[in-house]
Structure 1
Amino acid sequence: MAVQKSSHIFTKIVLKPLRTNLFYIVLLAYFLTIGSTQLYSQELPKKSQPIPSNNQTPKPEKEISPDGKIEEVPITKTDTIKIDSLKNKKSTLEGKVKYKAKNYAKFDQKKQILTLNDEAELFYLDYELKAGVIVYDYKKNEVYAGRLKDSTGKYIQLPVFKQGANVIEPDSIRFNTVTKRAIVFNSRTEQQDFRIKADITKKENDSVYFMKGARFTTSKDIENPEYYFYTNKVKFVPGKKVVVGGTNMVIADVPTPLFLPFAFFPMTDKSRSGIIIPNYNYTSQRGYTLQNGGYYFALSDNYDLAVLGDYYTNGSYGLRFESRYAKMYKFSGNVNIRFENLINSERGYPDYAKTSIYNIQWSHAKDGKSNPNSRFSASVNLGSSRYYQQSLNQVNVGSNLNNTLSSSISYSTSFQTVPAVNLSLTATHSQNTQTQEINMTLPTLQASVDRIFPFAPKDGVKKGFFKNINLQYNLRGENRIKTNDSLFFKSEMFDTALAGFQHSIPLSTNFKIFKYFSASTSFNYQETWQFKTIRKQFNPLENAVENIDVNGFDAFRTYSFSNSVGTTIYGTFNFGEDKKIKSIRHVMRPAISHSYTPSFDKYYDTYAADGSGTMIKDYTRFEGGLFGIPGKNYSNNIGFNLSNTFEAKVTDRDSTKTEPKKIMLINNLNFSTSYDMAADSLRWAPVRMSGGTQLFKQKMNVNFAATLDPYAIDNNGRRIDVFNINNGGSLFRMSSANMNIGYSIASTDGDGKDKKKNEQGARNGGREDDLFGSNADLSDRRESQFGEDDEESFSEFYKSELPWDITFAYSLTYSNAARESEIVNNSVMISANTSLTTKWKVGVSTGYDFVQRGVTFTQLRLERDLLSWRMDFNWVPFGDYTYWGFFIGIKASVLSDVKWDKRSIPDRTLR
């Protein structure tokens, strides 16, 4: 028996093919020459290490070849011994074996058994085995692996068996390297979201396992799971499926009445088609219902399709088609098509009503790496104006309160010419959910040629009036449709379509005046093409003026001039280096502009406004066009604008910093007005003031604006050509004012963690935050309504710093246009979320309207993290959107159907 030291960590295995009588002759000569020697059953006694000479032959390595025999690998040198002519035996192993052990690695050459002890590792073909003890029998082609006990009697170094991507962690294992069969005791394995533990596992081959006394769960702790499914018969195909016999659900080690005679679970990294189990519910006006049931089609790796449906016993139903698609480095997107046929009450009752609503959503994004010179994107949200108010499968108050649905599909590209040419096509949609008016452009064409500097030198340095002269060409074409909800997707919607083009050529330059003033001047030429004009005439039969459409090409041309001069003035107020506020910096940017537009009265005609023909009025045939009309009266305006910025330098609270800290006090405090020299009265325009600032470490945004009118008004509330100060008032009359405050703060500020945004709620037309409550996706309630789950584990029994976040919004609007002097809007909204413990989360969204004197929309949220499960409850206690919902279910998608979802469905009246 040959013994190896434990210091031989890795040993390659190679065998000599056959022993001959030459071996015994050499062995006998050795004993006769040397005499006697000492034998040791274990390690040789330590000797002082001799100093090797330069030409000393290195020690040979020891390896085990596929024959199961051990030999010293010969040193590469010329061998004078004749090679044996006998044939090698057939190898008993299919490959080389690598191993190591911390305590010892013992190889019994006679029995052909390799024993590894303490942190043993064995590598053979695609097998990897780590355990406390490993025994490899070469004759039987069997490997055994087991545990060790520490000094306290606790089992340590449990085996870990890995073959390819499959990993098993049993108490002990015995397998045959030829037949690929194995017996595993107390195996532990993980497949996707599943963790499986079985008393006895029989491995038939590389792809089939049979288990007895198995429990499988999605809990992270397989030894002490909060729940599991217990079965006595399991067929497990790694990466494909799990088929079980009679299965009982166990919660907290207590068997439940939930029992299945058999079950099938797909186990694959790829999506699999399957049935989506519906939810059961009840509503008083539509009866019993099954919601969100259907089928999921895993069509390919690049796209899928989910078909969902609802059915109510009073005849109402709904259908939804949801598809996602993606191609790496190319594009990604999703499509949602939703339709509901709603019946209210029963036929014959006075409140009986029937209506159909629908909604189409499409989102597409192109990867910029695929083609940097072109871009395609889509964001579509269109459908019935009352969809979010009437749908029985949407709980999104932010979308209900929103009055506008909008869509945009755009494609843009650029041609790398000199000068460059840019081209874009855009289709837009805007829909008012209150008036049900729809405006669409199908499409909008925009083309432009980059600026050309005809007088610039070849070195590119542009300085002065002439060198900065530049011109550009822009083209805009539109096909605009204005319709309403009832005519949408019908041929009548195109009856009022308008089409036209507008060409513009701006010519401009900029230069310095007296070193400190920046001046610019420009000339703009526009040409507008229309394909439909009008003719007005008095109809004596109707006794009214009628507009007659005139089809055909027509055009008008306009031009205008503009000039501006501006500068920047800096002022600093120093308070002293020893003061907390060291200085305040004031930056002013005054500017004066002038614009001149001549009269284009040649495009105007006259018509008789009455039957006598004595009342003559002017009109232009281009009224109702896409790009406005030519101006009849010339304008000669001088504009005044003053922009202010206030910034302070204060002592930093951090004593280690030597430089003062900069704080923005007021950002962009603007004043603007204009004076029309061509007007015969009311030449001064109202002064518009606007500004904003950020407070509390830029967490609070404050924006304010006001309109100051220098003219007085009469008793009817109309402006008169008398200054307000001359009418017994102040210099300016505040006709309107508004202020908005937004504040968002969280305990995670500064640690790089951002609060999760409600992307689907924003896509539906609501907000990204939960100021108007969290968005509930009734088709998939597994997602937390508080954002991402915090995976951090707390070892302390109590943690003083619990996560929280607050979102605050305040709006105030004042109106005094006709001396009403009243506040038309004064409301506050607040949303707050916190964690009472590491597992309990609560939140509230509420507000108060000081004008209407009532509480605005209010939602209460509660959630409990049950490790592998999640439970939540949300409640809207009063208002038009009264609602409550309760959910408890398994988080993992593989068991998403194991849930209990109960909620109230608002009995919405169809309008």
Structure 2
Amino acid sequence: MQANKHLYLFLFLLVFTTITVVAQEDPIVPLPIKAIKDTITAPLLPMSMAKDSISVDSATIDSTSGKKQLLLGKIKYKAKDYVKLSQKDKKIYLYNEAEIYYQDTELKAGIIIMDYIKNEVYAGRIKDSTGTYSQLPNFKQGDQVVIPDSIRFNFDTQKALIWNSRTEQSAGLGALGGQDAMKVLAEVTKKENDSVYFLKNGRLTTSKDTVDPDYYIKIRKAKFVPGKKIIAGFSNFYLVDVPTPIALPFAYFPLTTGRTAGLIFPTFGNDPNRGYFLQNGGYYLPINDNVDITLLGDFFTNGSYGFRTQSTYIKRYKYRGNVNFRFENQITSQKGFDDFSRSTLYNLQISHSQDAKANPNSRFSASVNLGSSQYFTNSFNQINVQNNQNNNLSSSISYSKTFPNYPSVNMSLTATHNQNTRTQQVNLTLPTLSASMERIFPFAKRDGIKKGLIQNVNFQYNLRAENRIATTDTLFFTKRMFEDAKIGARHTLPISTNFKVAKYFSVTVGGNYEDVWAFETFERGVDPDNPDSNTEVVLDTIAGFDRYNRYGLSASIGTTLYGTFNFGEDKKIQAIRHVIRPQVGWGYTPSSEQFYDTYEDNDGELVQYSRFEGTLNGAPSLTQSNSMTFSLQNTLEAKVRDKDSTATEAKKVSILKNLNFSTAYNFQADSLKLSPIAMNGATSLFDNKMSINFAGTLDPYTIDNNGTRINTLNVKNGGSLLRFTTGRIDVSYSLTSAIFGKDKEDVDEAKAVSDEYRATSGGSTDDLFGFGLDNRASNDRKAEEDIENPLYGNKLPWDLSMRFGMSYNNTNRQDEINRANLMFSGNVSLSPRWDVRVSSGYDFINNGFAQTQLGFRRNLKSFDLRFDWVPFGSNENWFFFIGISSSLLQDLKWENRSQR
């Protein structure tokens, strides 16, 4: 305040002195003082002051006008070249990089003129010698920014007139998860107050280039509320400055950030079997910050309809999930025609997960996917086409509870569902109760170290009770689905101990007791109404509790052997390490003859059976088991010199991740005592880019002419030591163009395909089995700044995924390959704006292609163009789409598709 008083006093003296000099009539007598050039030239301020921020006291009252100033704060201003104060015009002129600050208002421009009587500012551009304008005004008030050609603003009323304004409004969620921006341009803008603007001859676009946008919506008059909405009169769509027939008498553009309720624009089309239709139109409603719901519908002129609801909910640090329900009422042709048909399809998906921090001792989770078996194959909505090769639907709902006090007990209640969409068989457990008590060491301290045979003795208790239902798709959710329900329980009590022998051998000895409960048993016999029949039938179903028990003993001994072959540190392969884990086991289970009965057939022969046959857990074994088991596990890895010369240590490379063999010898069997040798293994090659899994069966016995195994070793029958009966191999391989480039680390950053609905539906999350025809999220738009160049150089980005599977069968000397197929998918970018992808496969046994899809993507800056095509097969179809990329105007689109 004191500095301002001195400033005003200085200006007053300067003006008064000037008036006095002009009014002096007497001649001026020069004084004998050496003249020194004055550094102050009126009315300019000293350059040192001009370059500083000068504050104007808002409490100052102009004495010449008598008007009380309404400024509520200080005005600060500065400029690069000069600040000119004009007493005659009552204005301050700021030139070149001029800036003014007042409360939450900032104004920057090439030139600014401030009228300190009216409290108004005028800002505009400056023009250089070539006639080019620069330093456009930048007007910022709060969070709102406007960049016009010129502006007039009043500090008192907060009103403004803006010419050729440009502003950007962020709203909604973009295709890549971020916010999209709407650019608002207008020839004349009137700022009424802080929250309302009126536009004349405006343009709306999401194009990056606002000077020459590739499209815009022209509005004649509009009301603009920043951050909320634009309400416009007559509006029409311009494409490259060419008007189109797309127009509306009035329009509403929401600009709110976050989630807001609103209509979802449908897709129009024509189905030859159902008539004209509207698809995927509806309403989005955010109920609160934790829950939202989306309602979508399909309507056909022949009466077919469908609807979908999707709700997502989340509570931070508690739980999250979603619920999807889809229903279709399908009518083919017209009522009264021979080909008229009607069917209903549905699909329900529920996903719920609990945060681990919510309750460490209690947890609830759900993953449900059930519905009509033909839903994905017959759905008229093509967003479901990508799941039409899914043959299985499965669900699981579980609640688990832990009682932490010693001994701790874990309990869980689970309901499961499994549905084969080809056979339409449905299996459910409603529910399954599981309980287990933690392992108890009765001869050792709880916190102490357990050593030796006695201290390592431990036992555990487990319970599993089930209500299992097997039904079909047509009987699902009817009373008849419960007719063949099976209920049972099983209690197990394993006891074991382990100890070391000769320092290097680990020995485990134990036993297992099992008590099986059934609530329904069956008596068998010959049907008295048909005595000539030898068919076994259930004569009586006995309801009520029944049980049997069984036990077994087991022992095993194993060790680990290491073998290292060193070749020298100067070699490329410095060493190979082989790890072998052999194990020999023994198991004994007595027979359970006491739980078997007999009946006499028509030939007078006695037939043994168990009343527990056909129950949930089946019948106990009639024969005694006394067998030895043998297993051998192998891993093989190499130590190779690293290609990186700066590396100080060699690199470990896996040659065989595992190679396992197992067999058994049954002492109690009358023949064929040696079981076939089972083999399986896995490895990876080319820096883990290729994975290989294989398995096979080797049989030591030969077969007769009927293909039946006989008690004769194959080698004694003139064959090899072991007969290779079955085998399979699966190979997966992925390649990208980055592998052959210099930046190898880019391979790990390859694009990942994300389709939550497809994964929840049980489908594959990669493109090997097809991709969605109508999935906007699958179009991974590149950023505008990354696609400025129209062409790549000498390298085209690409990726390729392949999966090969083959099975071999020789159980009856068929010597045949019964499965051999190759699935592949790939993507290639022909240019920064052109992407092509393909998904297909070939069956070498049946000599036919799997579902083949071709996809084309074209980035048209503000637009996306897509064409997806299934050229042949039962799902032959195509889909074409062109529309605005931004989620703000994603309903401005045109699409067309064939019908399946």
Q: What is the TM-score when the length of structure 1 is the normalising length?
A: 0.87
Are residues 1:430 and 2:424 paired? Answer: no
Q: Which residue of 1 aligns with 2:771?
A: 774
Alignment of 1:618-767 (within 5 A): 618-748=608-738, 750-751=745-746, 752-757=748-753, 758-767=755-764
1:359 counterpart (347, 367, 370): 347
Q: Which residue of 2 aligns with 1:163?
A: 141
Are residues 1:546 and 2:538 paired? Answer: yes
SS of residue matched to 2:776: coil
- In structure 2, how many angstroms separate the alpha carbons of the residues matched to 1:131 and 1:547? 99
Please, which moves more after superposition, 588-597 or 648-657? 648-657
Please, which moves more after superposition, 192-201 or 105-114? 105-114
* Native 8 Å contact 2:54 2:78 kept in 1: no
| Amino acid aligned to 1:482 | A
Q: Deviations over 1:83-132 (max 9, x none)?
A: xxxxx997632234445544455667998755544444433233233333
| Amino acid aligned to 2:454 | F
Q: Deviations over 1:307-337 (max 9, x none)?
A: 2222333332222222222233333222221
Are residues 1:604 and 2:601 paired? Answer: no
Kindly state the Cα deviation for residue 140 of structure 1 after the two structures are TM-superposed.
Answer: 1.6
- In structure 2, how many angstroms separate the alpha carbons of the residues matched to 1:553 and 1:115? 102
Kindly state the Cα deviation for residue 429 of structure 1 after the two structures are TM-superposed.
Answer: 0.8
1:875 counterpart (869, 876, 893): 869
Kindly state the Cα deviation for residue 214 of structure 1 after the two structures are TM-superposed.
Answer: 0.7
Kindly state the Cα deviation for residue 658 of structure 1 after the two structures are TM-superposed.
Answer: 4.1
Are residues 1:95 and 2:108 paired? Answer: no
Q: Which residue of 2 aligns with 1:905?
A: 899
| Amino acid aligned to 1:576 | G
Are residues 1:257 and 2:260 paired? Answer: no
* Native 8 Å contact 1:14 1:69 kept in 2: no
Q: Count residues in correspondence.
A: 850
Q: Deviations over 1:322-360 (max 9, x none)?
A: 222223333322222111122334445554432211111
Are residues 1:294 and 2:272 paired? Answer: no
SS of residue matched to 1:563: strand
* Native 8 Å contact 2:53 2:77 kept in 1: no
Q: Deviations over 1:709-733 (max 9, x none)?
A: 1111122222111111122221111
Kindly state the Cα deviation for residue 623 of structure 1 after the two structures are TM-superposed.
Answer: 2.4
Are residues 1:128 and 2:106 paired? Answer: yes
* Native 8 Å contact 2:325 2:346 kept in 1: yes
Are residues 1:144 and 2:115 paired? Answer: no
* Native 8 Å contact 1:15 1:68 kept in 2: no
Kindly state the Cα deviation for residue 685 of structure 1 after the two structures are TM-superposed.
Answer: 0.9
Q: Deviations over 1:802-841 (max 9, x none)?
A: 3211110111111111222211111112111110000000
- In structure 1, how many angstroms separate the alpha carbons of the residues matched to 2:47 and 2:320? 70
Q: Which residue of 1 aligns with 2:194?
A: 206
- In structure 2, how many angstroms separate the alpha carbons of the residues matched to 1:747 and 1:732? 45
Q: Percent identity?
A: 51
Root-mean-square deviation (CA, aligned residues, Å) is 3.0
Q: Deviations over 1:213-258 (max 9, x none)?
A: 1110111222221111112211111122111112121111222222
Are residues 1:802 and 2:796 paired? Answer: yes
SS of residue matched to 2:768: coil
- In structure 2, how many angstroms separate the alpha carbons of the residues matched to 1:17 and 1:535? 116
Q: CA 1:115–1:455 in structure 2 vs 1: closer, same or farther (change >3 Å)?
A: farther
- In structure 2, how many angstroms separate the alpha carbons of the residues matched to 1:339 and 1:459? 58
| Amino acid aligned to 1:182 | A
- In structure 2, how many angstroms separate the alpha carbons of the residues matched to 1:112 and 1:442? 88
- In structure 2, how many angstroms separate the alpha carbons of the residues matched to 1:446 and 1:99? 76
| Amino acid aligned to 1:684 | L
Kindly state the Cα deviation for residue 457 of structure 1 after the two structures are TM-superposed.
Answer: 3.5
Q: Which residue of 2 aligns with 1:594?
A: 586
Are residues 1:835 and 2:825 paired? Answer: no
Q: Deviations over 1:15-34 (max 9, x none)?
A: 669999xx99xx99xxxxxx
* Native 8 Å contact 2:726 2:807 kept in 1: yes
Are residues 1:379 and 2:379 paired? Answer: no
Q: CA 1:458–1:863 in structure 2 vs 1: closer, same or farther (change >3 Å)?
A: closer
Q: Which residue of 2 aligns with 1:32?
A: none
Are residues 1:343 and 2:331 paired? Answer: yes
Please, which moves more after superposition, 256-265 or 343-352? 343-352
Q: CA 1:295–1:459 in structure 2 vs 1: closer, same or farther (change >3 Å)?
A: closer
| Amino acid aligned to 2:162 | V
Q: CA 1:354–1:104 in structure 2 vs 1: closer, same or farther (change >3 Å)?
A: same
SS of residue matched to 2:344: strand
* Native 8 Å contact 1:536 1:548 kept in 2: yes
Are residues 1:885 and 2:887 paired? Answer: no
2:566 counterpart (571, 574, 577): 574
Q: Which residue of 2 aligns with 1:821?
A: 815
- In structure 1, how many angstroms separate the alpha carbons of the residues matched to 2:608 and 2:767? 54
Q: Deviations over 1:530-550 (max 9, x none)?
A: 222222233301445225322
Please, which moves more after superposition, 105-114 or 570-579? 105-114
SS of residue matched to 2:449: coil
* Native 8 Å contact 1:398 1:765 kept in 2: no
| Amino acid aligned to 2:773 | A
Q: CA 1:141–1:689 in structure 2 vs 1: closer, same or farther (change >3 Å)?
A: same
- In structure 2, how many angstroms separate the alpha carbons of the residues matched to 1:115 and 1:365? 65
Please, which moves more after superposition, 88-97 or 178-187? 88-97
* Native 8 Å contact 1:14 1:63 kept in 2: no
Are residues 1:174 and 2:174 paired? Answer: no
1:333 counterpart (321, 326, 332): 321
- In structure 1, how many angstroms separate the alpha carbons of the residues matched to 2:83 and 2:400? 69
- In structure 2, how many angstroms separate the alpha carbons of the residues matched to 1:423 and 1:159? 69
* Native 8 Å contact 1:398 1:767 kept in 2: no
Q: CA 1:249–1:457 in structure 2 vs 1: closer, same or farther (change >3 Å)?
A: same
- In structure 1, how many angstroms separate the alpha carbons of the residues matched to 2:560 and 2:889? 65
Q: CA 1:96–1:853 in structure 2 vs 1: closer, same or farther (change >3 Å)?
A: same
Kindly state the Cα deviation for residue 379 of structure 1 after the two structures are TM-superposed.
Answer: 1.8
SS of residue matched to 2:777: coil
Q: CA 1:653–1:266 in structure 2 vs 1: closer, same or farther (change >3 Å)?
A: same
The answer for unaligned runs of 5 or more in structure 2 is 18-32, 172-180, 740-744
Kindly state the Cα deviation for residue 363 of structure 1 after the two structures are TM-superposed.
Answer: 1.9
* Native 8 Å contact 1:13 1:64 kept in 2: no
| Amino acid aligned to 1:568 | T
- In structure 1, how many angstroms separate the alpha carbons of the residues matched to 2:88 and 2:324? 71
The answer for unaligned runs of 5 or more in structure 1 is 1-11, 29-34, 47-59, 71-87, 907-911
Q: Which residue of 1 aligns with 2:379?
A: 391
Kindly state the Cα deviation for residue 897 of structure 1 after the two structures are TM-superposed.
Answer: 1.6
Kindly state the Cα deviation for residue 587 of structure 1 after the two structures are TM-superposed.
Answer: 1.1
Q: CA 1:40–1:126 in structure 2 vs 1: closer, same or farther (change >3 Å)?
A: closer
SS of residue matched to 2:70: coil
Q: CA 1:14–1:554 in structure 2 vs 1: closer, same or farther (change >3 Å)?
A: farther
Kindly state the Cα deviation for residue 195 of structure 1 after the two structures are TM-superposed.
Answer: 0.9
Q: Which residue of 2 aligns with 1:229?
A: 217
Kindly state the Cα deviation for residue 151 of structure 1 after the two structures are TM-superposed.
Answer: 6.0
Please, which moves more after superposition, 848-857 or 391-400? 391-400
Kindly state the Cα deviation for residue 650 of structure 1 after the two structures are TM-superposed.
Answer: 2.2
* Native 8 Å contact 2:425 2:472 kept in 1: yes
Alignment of 1:559-570 (within 5 A): 559-570=551-562
Please, which moves more after superposition, 93-102 or 373-382? 93-102
